[in-house]
Amino acid sequence: MEHAQIFREILKQEAIAQKTLVEISGMHSSKISRFLNGVIDLTAGEFFSLLALMPPNFQQKYWKRFLSDIKLEEVNETVNLLPLIEKLPPLEQIRIMRAIANRGKLFEQGNQEDFKKEPELIRSA
C-alpha cells in the first residue's frame, strides 16, 4: 500500500479533519484537499513535515503500517534508506535507530524466533 493511502486511512480512523491539517501545516486548503482526495501527492519534504506534525500515536500507526507492508522479497540490496531517515524529524530518527538496534541485539543474542519469517535477513546478517 502506498504511503499516502496509509496516511489517509489513519487520518479517517483518528477522525482528524482536513481543517486541522491546514491549521497545523500552514499548507493551502486546496493542496491538502487534493492530497486527501488522491489527486496529487505531496513532495517528500511536505509529506514528512506533515507526518511529523501529527500526534505521536498517529505517527506510530503510520510507521507500523508502512513498514509492515514492505515485503522482504520486494527489497533488494541496492535500497538505501539513509536519505529517507535523514529527512525525518530527530525524534523519529531516534525511534527507527533504536528499533534497528533492538532487532540486532536479538539476533546477536541468538534469539532468532523473530527472524524465522525473514530467512533472507538472517543469511545476510
- pLDDT tens for each residue of 2-44: 888 999 999 999 999 999 999 988 999 999 999 999 999 988 8
- Indicate whether 81 and 59 sit together in one domain: no
**Between 37 and 123, residue with greater pLDDT:** 37
- Indicate whether 4 and 65 sit together in one domain: yes
Report how many domains make up the chain: 2
- Indicate whether 6 and 35 sit together in one domain: yes
- Indicate whether 31 and 4 sit together in one domain: yes
Q: Which residue, among 93, 89, 122, has the nearest Cα to 108 in the 3D structure?
A: 122
pLDDT at 79: 62
- Indicate whether 10 and 51 sit together in one domain: yes
Rounded distance between C-alpha atoms, residue 8 and residue 90, angstroms: 24
Rg from Cα positions in the chain? 17
* Full residue range of the structural domain in which residue 101 is found: 77-125
Locate 78 and state its grid cell: 541496492
Domain boundary among 69, 89, 105: 69
